[in-house]
Amino acid sequence: MKKNKTGNETGSVRNEMPESAGQLHALIEAMPAGITLSDIAGHFEFFNSRMREISGYSIDEANRSSDFTALIYPDPDKHTEALQRLDAVKEKGKAEEIETAIRAKDGSQKTLLVSSIIIKYKNQDMFLTVYRDITQRKAQEEELKKAKEKLETQAWGLQKANEGIKLLYKERDDLLNTLKDLSLKDANTELYNYRYLMERMKSELERAKRYVFPLSLIMLDIDYFKSINEVYGHQYGDVILKELARYLKSFVREIDIVARYGGEEFVILLPDTNKEGAVILARRLLEELTGHLFDPGGRNIKLKISMGVSSFPEDGRDTGTESGLLELADKALLNAKETGGNRLSLSESIAAGIQKIKEKGTEKNIAEVREKLSKMANRVDHALLESIYAFAKTIEAKDLYTYEHAENTVSIVAAIGGKLNLPGKLIENLKHAAVIHDLGKIGIPDDILQKKGKITEQEYDIIKKHPQIGAEIIRPIHFLGDLIPIILYHHERFDGLGYSTGLKGKEIPIGARVIAIADVYQALVADRPYRNAYSKEEALTIVKAGSGTQFDPEIVEAFIETMNGSDK
């Protein structure tokens, strides 16, 4: 090793420091960076004030610690990295400056630039480590970076501003058009609504008058639609309305306007179409709808549709206004429904019929016509009801007690109805319902109805479908429409634990509440495949026990009073 003029060796990484501790201490204290001087064992000779500021530790605290690096590097990975760096300094005599993070005594994290060398001090190798605090600079750099990114984003935004403004104007126009469409469309069916229909009728009538063009209107209504909602629920009813709306739109010309008039009523406005053309279209539509299956992938529903037609100018001057054209079509529609439904009626047929009656000259003639029509309707209804009764008897082959059960139930519900002072019409409906309330059992497999042992949960789920099946069977029959709620809900319980829909208390139609008691009583006093019949007294006791839970207490009381005077 060469020596310089003072006799010291050169070319070594071991650097000589002033032998005077006072000189070295003063030098280290004056440094703007944190500086420590420690031996190989980790004992500190110097710990300048800047280092105390950075770390928060005094030299005594550092020396009392068995491992100062563990204090300022609590993270295991950082601690291991610091120890490896010291080992590298031991090997090479110095280490490159690195950026690292420490945790000060107060818990704050600081970013430092750390470099170490080995020096000769008091004839021994010592670690001289320099800590430069760049925490604030790093924060400023991060802020500058964010500011730069923000400026770049703003610049990009400005660059795209012109394109954006154009897009905004286009989107605004599109939105306005969409809002306009929404204000004129029915939300459920997506057909034009009543507001649009009236606006369009006004403009089409003005055009028809100006250029002497014809204008016709078809008003149509779904017969017994309420029963679809009763049997399947209103949500399913909405599905059917949507499907019908799509069908109507696909059936008419592009210039024709299909609108939802309200509920299950629709209107088709036919510009440049005279009465004959409207009738041809309406008859073809009625024929197509009669054979069309709605919800073909599910319940295969067939709809019955009544239609009324009115035309300008053929139906007179009243059709020269929107309300007049609609009113004549509405009257024709009402006539179609009153004469049985599922048919087409023309506005002129009403006017012509009234005129012919007037020509006969007396109110007596009008009364005679009404009486004849009423008798004809009653005969038709009676014949149809007898057919349904006969059909109900066929269930006897499936469920041997059902027919006798139904016959006895008729007298019981009539007696309860009388005791409760129910209207005569409701009592008649109860009698009909008593005969056919279990009509839906025609859809239950024989092996379940005639099973002698206890039925399974799955089998019970199948049996619970019979009220809905029965309601669906009679749904298309107009004069039995009032029976649907009775049949559909006769297995509901007063406490809400029954089926088909879980109605409770007075929510259950009173007819269904009456049938429920008579139905259970008759089942109790009849022999069943899985048990013998109960006596009258035992059955009455069971019914009483169900008062307030299974049955309406008021109806139970009326039932008990009627049965105490009966031998059934």
Q: Residue 15 pLDDT more than 60?
A: no
DSSP-based three-state secondary structure for 305 = strand
- Residue of 498, 531, 530 lying closest to 512 (CA atoms): 498
Domain assignment of residue 10, yes or no:
no
> Are 234 and 212 found together in one domain?
yes
pTM: predicted TM-score of the whole model, two decimal places: 0.44
| CA atoms 182, 183, 188, 191: torsion sign | negative
> Are 320 and 439 found together in one domain?
no
Query: How far apart, in whole angstroms, are the C-alpha atoms of residue 484 and residue 462?
Result: 20
**pLDDT score recorded for residue 192:** 92
Query: How many alpha carbons lie under 13 Å from residue 118 in its C-beta half-sphere?
Result: 19
What b/e sequence results for 14-23 when a residue is b if at least 16 CB atoms lie within 10 Å of its CB, and e otherwise?
Answer: eeebeeeeee
User: Which of 94-108, 199-213, 396-410 reaches the highest mean pLDDT?
Assistant: 199-213
| Confidence tier at 168 by pLDDT (50, 70, 90) | low
* pLDDT, tens digit (0-9, with 9 covering 90-100), for 325-350: 999 999 999 999 888 788 999 875 44
**pLDDT score recorded for residue 376:** 40
Domain assignment of residue 359, yes or no:
no
| Confidence tier at 396 by pLDDT (50, 70, 90) | very low
Q: In terms of pLDDT, which residue wins out, 40 or 375?
A: 40
Alpha helices in 124-211 (DSSP H): 135-183, 194-211
Domain assignment of residue 300, yes or no:
yes
Which positions ≥6 away from 512 have C-beta within 8 Å? 485, 486, 488, 489, 490, 492
Domain assignment of residue 473, yes or no:
yes
> Are 159 and 199 found together in one domain?
no
For the chain, give the mean pLDDT: 81
DSSP-based three-state secondary structure for 42 = coil
> Are 404 and 277 found together in one domain?
no
Which positions ≥6 away from 344 have C-beta within 8 Å? 279, 282, 283, 286, 306, 307, 308, 309, 336
Rounded percentage of the chain residues whose pLDDT exceeds 90 = 30
**pLDDT score recorded for residue 470:** 84
> Are 383 and 483 found together in one domain?
yes
> Are 33 and 63 found together in one domain?
yes
Rounded average pLDDT over 405-418 = 83
In contact, 28 and 35? CB cutoff 8 Å: yes
**pLDDT score recorded for residue 181:** 59
Domain assignment of residue 224, yes or no:
yes
Helix (H), strand (E) at residue 253: none
Q: Residue 23 pLDDT more than 80?
A: no
| Confidence tier at 21 by pLDDT (50, 70, 90) | low
Return the minimum-mean-pLDDT range out of 153-167, 352-366, 413-427: 352-366
**pLDDT score recorded for residue 169:** 63
* pLDDT, tens digit (0-9, with 9 covering 90-100), for 32-89: 889 988 888 888 888 898 989 988 998 888 888 878 888 888 888 887 888 888 888 8
Rounded percentage of the chain residues whose pLDDT exceeds 70 = 82
**pLDDT score recorded for residue 547:** 94
> Are 435 and 332 found together in one domain?
no
User: Which of 12-26, 76-90, 489-503 reaches the highest mean pLDDT?
Assistant: 489-503
**pLDDT score recorded for residue 397:** 41
**pLDDT score recorded for residue 366:** 40
In contact, 530 and 401? CB cutoff 8 Å: no
Of the residues 330, 349, 368, the one at which a domain ends: 349
> Are 411 and 428 found together in one domain?
yes
Q: Residue 321 pLDDT more than 80?
A: yes
Question: In 10 A of CB 515, how many CB atoms?
Answer: 25
Rounded average pLDDT over 513-535 = 87
Token pair 């039925």 is found at 455
DSSP state of 77: H
In contact, 520 and 536? CB cutoff 8 Å: no
> Are 43 and 72 found together in one domain?
yes
**pLDDT score recorded for residue 389:** 57
Rounded average pLDDT over 143-163 = 82
- Residue of 266, 280, 237, 373 lying closest to 330 (CA atoms): 266
DSSP-based three-state secondary structure for 400 = coil
* pLDDT, tens digit (0-9, with 9 covering 90-100), for 238-292: 999 999 999 999 999 999 999 999 889 999 999 999 999 999 999 999 999 988 9
> Are 151 and 123 found together in one domain?
no
Six-digit token pair at 2? Answer: 């060469």
**pLDDT score recorded for residue 354:** 43
Domain assignment of residue 506, yes or no:
yes
* pLDDT, tens digit (0-9, with 9 covering 90-100), for 442-451: 788 878 877 7
Query: How far apart, in whole angstroms, are the C-alpha atoms of residue 427 and residue 419?
Result: 11
| Confidence tier at 434 by pLDDT (50, 70, 90) | confident
Domain assignment of residue 363, yes or no:
no
Six-digit token pair at 213? Answer: 């063009």
> Are 505 and 386 found together in one domain?
yes
**pLDDT score recorded for residue 398:** 46
Q: In total, how many domains does the chain have?
A: 4
Q: In terms of pLDDT, which residue wins out, 377 or 315?
A: 315
The CATH number for 537's domain is 1.10.3210.10
> Are 383 and 423 found together in one domain?
yes
Q: Which domain holds residue 93?
A: 15-133
Q: In terms of pLDDT, which residue wins out, 494 or 126?
A: 494
Q: In terms of pLDDT, which residue wins out, 166 or 54?
A: 54
Rounded average pLDDT over 536-541 = 92
Per the DSSP assignment, residues forming a β-bridge with 443 are none
Query: How far apart, in whole angstroms, are the C-alpha atoms of residue 289 and residue 220?
Result: 12
Domain assignment of residue 143, yes or no:
yes
Of the residues 98, 114, 133, the one at which a domain ends: 133
* pLDDT, tens digit (0-9, with 9 covering 90-100), for 541-567: 999 999 999 999 999 999 999 988 766
**pLDDT score recorded for residue 355:** 47
Rounded average pLDDT over 397-412 = 61
